[in-house]
């Protein structure tokens, strides 16, 4: 039982290691069969291309191949144009080769390998035997073979889809936001460190979600998966994060004691209701199923308490800033409700037409 739980917990790591091992063996076998002079480049490329999901592998393969072709072609052109039989001429050729490609690499991360490839073509010992053109062609073939093998391994060996990982990451963001709201509902029991850790974790999860969104888009463009566009899901979660930030600031404000006593319970009910719905939506996203109910009643209760506060005249003695904060808090809760309803709609769309893999 313990072994089964350990394997289940570390399954992504085990599967990734399996993909990388199979891709490296396949690249080595094919490079040997084709008689490529430096087949180890195919093996290295295959290992680099195999990422945690198919979308990531597509990006790695494109970047690796495009950068290698650019570097090999330009490096060969420089080698032909500038004779480099001594240290001074080699240094000049190196500057001419690396300078422009370094600018390209700095402006686009996909071309980071281009200067390295140009240096290998220009200064590699094999280039003296094969010549710049032959060496550049062999390099392109080796890298191309490695890219193809790495992609096939990602698609065929227990494939992981960025489109599915994206839902799990979105569910984690929803749960982290829910936990922040739970702390806001009971401010006496929280510490700044508790909330600060959750804020940092939420930011990291959103960053990962943005990365997965790009990888999922590549899967869709490559016809390796299809389903609803997940971009609106990210936009909704970003709005919800902004709502929670607004409520955090409102909770941290200094309020009149009478106002606090009047609004404490409606505030807690509204925030707890929103947290409960976010948890439900997070679970629904993780399982790609339809979500549950709404928190509209809790928010309506808070707005009713605000109206009662105004009718009783308790707001007359408050500074204008505090009155504005009270109204802003009610608006923020109402916006939170609308964004939660929007997240529920996005979740229903994904449950009605889940992302499906075309291959693998």
Task: Scan for tokens 């970047």, then name that residue.
Answer: 63
Distances (CA, A) of 275 to 168, 178, 184, 298: 18, 4, 10, 11
pLDDT at 11: 79
Which of 117, 130, 134, 9 is closest to 72 using CA atoms? 117
How many Cα atoms are found within 13 Å in the side-chain-facing hemisphere of 48? 19
pLDDT at 355: 52
DSSP 312: T
pLDDT at 193: 62
**From the centroid of its chain, how far is CA 325?**
35
pLDDT at 185: 80
C-alpha triplet 27, 28, 34: angle, nearest 5°: 85
| C-beta of residue 150 within 8 angstroms of C-beta of residue 45 | yes
pLDDT at 242: 94
Average pLDDT along the chain, 360 residues, taken 10 residues at a time: 61 87 94 89 93 88 92 89 81 90 87 89 68 83 94 88 86 94 72 77 94 85 74 93 88 63 79 90 87 65 74 63 69 88 88 52
Domain 167-357: which CATH class?
Answer: mainly alpha
DSSP 288: T
pLDDT at 173: 95
Both tokens assigned to 313: 């005249």
For residues 3 and 103, give the distance between their C-alpha atoms in angstroms, rounded to a whole number: 51
- Integer-rounded Cα Rg, in Å, for the chain is 28
Task: Scan for tokens 């605000």, then name that residue.
Answer: 306
For residues 360 and 254, give the distance between their C-alpha atoms in angstroms, rounded to a whole number: 57
Torsion from C-alpha of 297, 298, 299, 300, nearest 10 degrees: 50
pLDDT at 350: 80
For residues 183 and 202, give the distance between their C-alpha atoms in angstroms, rounded to a whole number: 14
pLDDT at 210: 92
Both tokens assigned to 339: 């964004």
Query: Where are the domains positioned within the chain?
Result: 2-156, 167-357
Q: What share of the chain is helix, strand, coil (3-state, %, to 5)?
A: 80, 0, 15
Q: Is 116 exposed, middle or buried (0-12, 13-18, 19+ CB in 10 A)?
A: middle
For residues 231 and 360, give the distance between their C-alpha atoms in angstroms, rounded to a whole number: 24
Torsion from C-alpha of 174, 179, 180, 182, nearest 10 degrees: 130
Residue 21 has a CB neighbour count (10 Å cut-off) of: 14
For residues 181 and 265, give the distance between their C-alpha atoms in angstroms, rounded to a whole number: 14
pLDDT at 13: 86
pTM assigned to the model: 0.75
Q: What residues does 79 pair with on adjacent strands? A: none
| C-beta of residue 102 within 8 angstroms of C-beta of residue 149 | no
For residues 330 and 210, give the distance between their C-alpha atoms in angstroms, rounded to a whole number: 30
């Amino acid at each position: 039982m313990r072994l089964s739980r350990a394997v289940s917990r570390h399954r992504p790591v085990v599967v990734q290691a399996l993909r990388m091992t199979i891709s490296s063996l396949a690249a080595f076998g094919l490079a040997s069969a084709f008689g490529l002079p430096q087949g180890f480049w195919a093996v290295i490329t295959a290992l680099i291309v195999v990422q945690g999901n198919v979308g990531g592998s597509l990006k790695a393969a494109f970047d690796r191949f495009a950068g290698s072709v650019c570097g090999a072609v330009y490096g060969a052109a420089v080698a032909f144009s500038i004779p480099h039989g001594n240290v001074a001429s080699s240094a000049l050729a190196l500057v001419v080769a690396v300078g422009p490609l370094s600018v390209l690499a700095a402006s686009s991360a996909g071309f980071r390998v281009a200067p390295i490839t140009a240096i290998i073509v220009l200064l590699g010992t094999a280039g003296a035997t094969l010549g710049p053109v032959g060496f550049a062609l062999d390099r392109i073939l080796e890298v191309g073979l490695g890219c193809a093998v790495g992609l096939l391994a990602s698609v065929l060996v227990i494939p992981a889809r960025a489109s599915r990982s994206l839902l799990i990451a979105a569910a984690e963001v929803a749960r982290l936001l829910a936990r922040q709201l739970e702390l806001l509902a009971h401010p006496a029991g929280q510490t700044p460190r508790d909330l600060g850790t959750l804020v940092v974790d939420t930011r990291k999860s959103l960053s990962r979600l943005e990365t997965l969104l790009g990888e999922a888009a590549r899967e869709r463009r490559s016809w390796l998966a299809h389903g609803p566009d997940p971009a609106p899901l990210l936009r909704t979660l970003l709005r919800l994060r902004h709502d929670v930030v607004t409520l955090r600031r409102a909770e941290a404000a200094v309020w009149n004691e009478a106002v606090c006593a009047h609004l404490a319970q409606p505030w807690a009910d509204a925030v707890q209701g929103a947290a409960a719905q976010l948890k439900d939506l997070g679970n629904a996203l993780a399982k790609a199923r339809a979500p549950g109910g709404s928190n509209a009643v809790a928010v309506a209760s808070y707005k009713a308490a605000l109206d009662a506060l105004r009718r009783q005249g308790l707001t007359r003695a408050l500074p204008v800033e505090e009155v504005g904060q009270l109204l802003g808090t009610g608006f923020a809760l109402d916006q939170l409700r609308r964004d939660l309803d929007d997240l529920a709609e996005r979740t229903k769309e994904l449950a009605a037409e889940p992302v499906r893999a075309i291959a693998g």
